[in-house]
């Protein structure tokens, strides 16, 4: 089965990376960069992670990751990978007041006109702010032998041979303002949406990756409110073509809910508190408004973020790509964040990067990695962009088959209002644990397409 989910990705096995020599440089200390650094530490003596931001020893929001102030839902693929790769990740997250909830019951998920029924099987889920997820990962990665974090270092250029066939390092402006050259046997670009690799390729006589852009014109506004210690509920309100507005409310550390309201195609949630509350009142369920009304706000302001387009750079289509370079995370593809896939795609990519290096060495690592990661990106992209095309104003290349799949999934969601088994199947795919084909297996398809109530369900 193609690798597109946690269930089908090769599992991490530390004994597979027998060789450990040379140097690797990772540019970008976001989630993708940290996870890449973690797997590279098994195969390289030295791994240097550079980031233009200071990386303080606190879970604070960073300039280079403006999205870190907004709700980040951690799907199972990211969570399990973090647990596997970074021993003690979960314990540290909980010790720092993050939560472990049961997504089968604690997540109130509104879709297709109602909340889904509770699921029958537990789905453990970490809940915290994005800053906390990243801070714990950063501390654990920094503790690995051979890994060095270089904060306040701006990446400016790749180093390469005259013909630019091999990337062999990076040039940075370091924290003292001096230009420094770091040599490397492998460079990983984890700089996110602003990645400069396409421009570098073009200026060095390579074709840049073809780009798919799907216009969604999304905006987020977020604040924090007080949460009673024993209230661990999340709320997710998905948008629809009749109400292109939604919400995500996540219990986080410090006895708070992070409350994000969002809208697509110009339905922007306001960034002033009064307008924010009014927007919440227009949602199809009362819970977001009630939460904002009944609980003390712990943030003085509402922060705003715009996300105009889903962007996918198709590196897998390139005939030529330099040796010594790999691109990961949002630098390859960034998806409409309401589907919460970014950290999970980065996590699955880190496992694939490990597998590519462990199974085939460093030669042609970039192209071999892109060949493998294409399927992971495809699955996430089709899910996100496929859903985005329910809005008539969404524009860009439409993946094939999404209209039919969309109708099936809408029906599945409606049945799941009363059928916890369907919620379970849906959640495990949405959380990138299971392969999407599992939603079309006879036991699930019958519950979706057969008589309501699941009568005569085949065993
Ligand atoms: C509003 C919003 C909400 C989201 N919600 C979710 C969610 O619920 N669940 C989820 O899984 N994902 C979510 N995502 C996606 C998620 O944030 C990312 O996909 C994921 O963190 C992987 O990002 P990354 O590490 O590739 O890039 P980034 O997080 O963008 O990190 C890039 C890093 O590179 C550094 N950098 C950039 N340029 C340079 C340079 N020239 N020199 C040195 N350093 C540089 C930056 O400082 C930064 O640290 C959301 C995204 C957005 C925008």
Averaged pLDDT, 279-303: 95
Whether the pLDDT of residue 375 is over 70: the answer is yes
Beta-bridged to residue 310, according to DSSP, are 214
Check pocket membership of 258 for ligand 1, CB cut-off 6 A: no
Cα–ligand 1 centroid distance for 128 (angstroms): 16
Query: Running DSSP on this structure, what letter comes out for residue 44?
Result: -
Prediction pTM value: 0.96
pLDDT tens profile 29-55: 999 999 999 999 999 999 999 999 999
Lowest-pLDDT choice from 47-61, 92-106, 442-456: 442-456
Provide the sign of the torsion angle of the four alpha carbons 40, 311, 386, 108, taken in this order. Answer: positive
Query: What is the per-residue pLDDT for 457?
Result: 46
Whether the pLDDT of residue 3 is over 80: the answer is no
Check pocket membership of 337 for ligand 1, CB cut-off 6 A: yes
Whether the pLDDT of residue 455 is over 80: the answer is no
Check pocket membership of 344 for ligand 1, CB cut-off 6 A: yes
* Ordered structural domains, the chain, with CATH: 14-98+130-212+310-388 (3.50.50.60), 101-121+214-308 (3.30.9), 402-449 (no CATH)
Q: How far is CA 324 from CA 78, 153, 182, 332, 335, in A?
A: 26, 21, 13, 17, 27
Is the distance from CB of 411 to CB of 449 less than 8 angstroms? yes
Sheet containing 167-173, strands listed edge to edge, beginning at the edge strand earlier in sequence: 154-160, 167-173, 179-183
Whether the pLDDT of residue 339 is over 60: the answer is yes
Q: How far apart are CA 365 and CA 360, in angstroms?
A: 8
Check pocket membership of 352 for ligand 1, CB cut-off 6 A: no
Res. 451 pLDDT band, cuts 50 70 90: confident
- Which residues 6+ apart lie within 8 Å of 108 measured at CB? 115, 233, 234, 235, 236, 287
Query: What is the per-residue pLDDT for 456?
Result: 44
Helix (H, G, I), strand (E, B) or coil at 455: coil
Mutate to test the pocket of ligand 1, among 189, 311, 343, 346 (most ligand atoms within 8 A of CB): 343
Q: How far apart are CA 208 and CA 354, in angstroms?
A: 25
Calculate the CA dihedral of residues 459, 411, 6, 362 and round it to 10 degrees: 130
**Residue closest by Cα to atom 38 of ligand 1:** 191
Terminal CA-CA length for the chain: 24
Query: Running DSSP on this structure, what letter comes out for residue 362?
Result: S
pLDDT tens profile 183-201: 999 999 999 999 999 999 9
Check pocket membership of 248 for ligand 1, CB cut-off 6 A: no
Cα–ligand 1 centroid distance for 204 (angstroms): 27
**Residue closest by Cα to atom 50 of ligand 1:** 337
Check pocket membership of 127 for ligand 1, CB cut-off 6 A: no
Res. 403 pLDDT band, cuts 50 70 90: confident
Whether the pLDDT of residue 326 is over 50: the answer is yes
Query: Please, what is the average pLDDT of the chain?
Result: 95
Cα–ligand 1 centroid distance for 342 (angstroms): 8
Check pocket membership of 191 for ligand 1, CB cut-off 6 A: yes
| Atom number in ligand 1 closest to CA 329 | 26
Q: What are phi and psi of 266, to 5 degrees?
A: 90, -5
**Residue closest by Cα to atom 39 of ligand 1:** 191
444 burial level (CB within 10 Å; 0-12, 13-18, 19+): buried
Phi-psi region of 202 (alpha: psi -120 to 50; beta: other; left: phi over 0): alpha
Angle between helices 287-294 and 273-281 (to 10 degrees): 140
Res. 122 pLDDT band, cuts 50 70 90: very high
Query: What is the per-residue pLDDT for 454?
Result: 53
Cα–ligand 1 centroid distance for 446 (angstroms): 39
Whether the pLDDT of residue 327 is over 80: the answer is yes
Res. 402 pLDDT band, cuts 50 70 90: confident
Following DSSP, what letter does each residue of 179-192 receive, concatenated? Answer: EEEEE-SEEEE--G
Averaged pLDDT, 273-297: 97
Res. 243 pLDDT band, cuts 50 70 90: very high
Check pocket membership of 86 for ligand 1, CB cut-off 6 A: no
Mutate to test the pocket of ligand 1, among 6, 26, 27, 28 (most ligand atoms within 8 A of CB): 28
**C-beta atoms surrounding 164 within 10 Å:** 15
Helix (H, G, I), strand (E, B) or coil at 404: helix
- In percent, the amount of the chain with pLDDT more than 70 equals 97
Mutate to test the pocket of ligand 1, among 61, 194, 330, 335 (most ligand atoms within 8 A of CB): 330
Whether the pLDDT of residue 346 is over 90: the answer is yes
**C-beta atoms surrounding 343 within 10 Å:** 28
Q: Nearest CA to 80 among 103, 105, 108?
A: 103
| Atom number in ligand 1 closest to CA 172 | 42
Q: Nearest CA to 346 among 280, 432, 404, 457?
A: 432
Cα–ligand 1 centroid distance for 180 (angstroms): 25
Cα–ligand 1 centroid distance for 404 (angstroms): 32
Query: What is the per-residue pLDDT for 458?
Result: 42
Beta-bridged to residue 282, according to DSSP, are none
Instruction: Provide the residue count of the chain.
Output: 459
- Which residues 6+ apart lie within 8 Å of 286 measured at CB? none
Check pocket membership of 26 for ligand 1, CB cut-off 6 A: no
Q: What are phi and psi of 423, to 5 degrees?
A: -60, -45
Averaged pLDDT, 317-335: 98
pLDDT tens profile 418-448: 999 999 999 999 999 999 999 999 999 999 9
Q: How far apart are CA 146 and CA 349, in angstroms?
A: 22
Q: How far apart are CA 263 and CA 388, in angstroms?
A: 12
Check pocket membership of 164 for ligand 1, CB cut-off 6 A: no
Whether the pLDDT of residue 459 is over 60: the answer is no
């Amino acid at each position: 089965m193609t690798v597109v989910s946690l269930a089908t990705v090769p599992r991490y096995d530390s004994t597979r990376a027998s060789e450990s020599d040379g140097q690797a440089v990772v540019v970008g200390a976001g989630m993708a960069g940290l996870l890449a650094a973690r797997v590279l530490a098994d195969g390289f003596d030295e791994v240097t992670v550079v980031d233009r931001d200071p990386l303080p020893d606190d879970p604070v929001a960073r300039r280079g990751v403006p999205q870190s102030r907004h709700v980040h839902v951690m799907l199972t693929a990211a969570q399990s990978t973090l647990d596997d790769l970074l021993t003690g990740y979960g314990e540290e997250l909980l010790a720092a007041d993050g939560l472990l909830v049961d997504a089968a019951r604690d997540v109130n998920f509104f879709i297709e006109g109602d909340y889904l029924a509770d699921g029958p099987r537990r789905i453990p889920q970490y809940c915290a702010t994005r800053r906390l997820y990243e801070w714990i990962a950063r501390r654990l990665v920094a503790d690995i032998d051979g890994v060095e974090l270089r904060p306040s270092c701006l990446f400016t250029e790749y180093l390469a041979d005259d013909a630019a066939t091999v990337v062999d390092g990076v040039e940075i402006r370091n924290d003292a303002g001096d230009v420094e050259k770091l040599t490397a046997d492998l460079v990983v670009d984890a700089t996110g949406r602003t990645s400069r690799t396409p421009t570098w390729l073009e200026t060095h006589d390579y074709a840049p990756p073809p780009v798919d852009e799907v216009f969604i014109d999304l905006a987020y506004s977020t604040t924090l409110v007080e949460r009673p210690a024993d209230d661990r509920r999340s709320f997710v309100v998905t948008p629809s073509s009749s109400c292109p507005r939604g919400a995500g409310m996540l219990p986080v550390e410090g006895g708070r809910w992070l409350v994000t309201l969002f809208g697509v195609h110009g339905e922007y949630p306001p960034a002033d508190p009064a307008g924010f509350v009014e927007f919440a009142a227009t949602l199809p369920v009362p819970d977001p408004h009630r939460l904002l009304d009944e609980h003390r706000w712990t943030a003085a302001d509402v922060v705003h973020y715009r996300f105009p387009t889903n962007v996918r750079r198709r590196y897998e289509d390139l005939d030529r790509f330099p040796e010594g370079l790999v691109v990961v995370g949002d630098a390859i593809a960034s998806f409409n964040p309401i589907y919460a896939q970014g950290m999970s795609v980065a996590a699955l990519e880190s496992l694939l990067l490990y597998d590519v290096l462990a199974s085939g060495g460093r030669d042609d690592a970039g192209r071999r990695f892109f060949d493998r990661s294409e399927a992971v990106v495809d699955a996430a992209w089709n899910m996100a962009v496929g859903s985005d095309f329910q809005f008539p104003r969404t524009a860009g290349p439409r993946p094939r088959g999404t209209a039919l799949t969309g109708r099936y999934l809408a029906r599945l969601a409606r049945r799941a209002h009363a059928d916890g088994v369907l919620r379970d199947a849906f959640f495990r795919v949405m959380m990138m644990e299971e392969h999407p084909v599992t939603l079309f297996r006879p036991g699930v398809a019958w519950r979706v397409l057969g008589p309501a109530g699941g009568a005569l369900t085949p065993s």
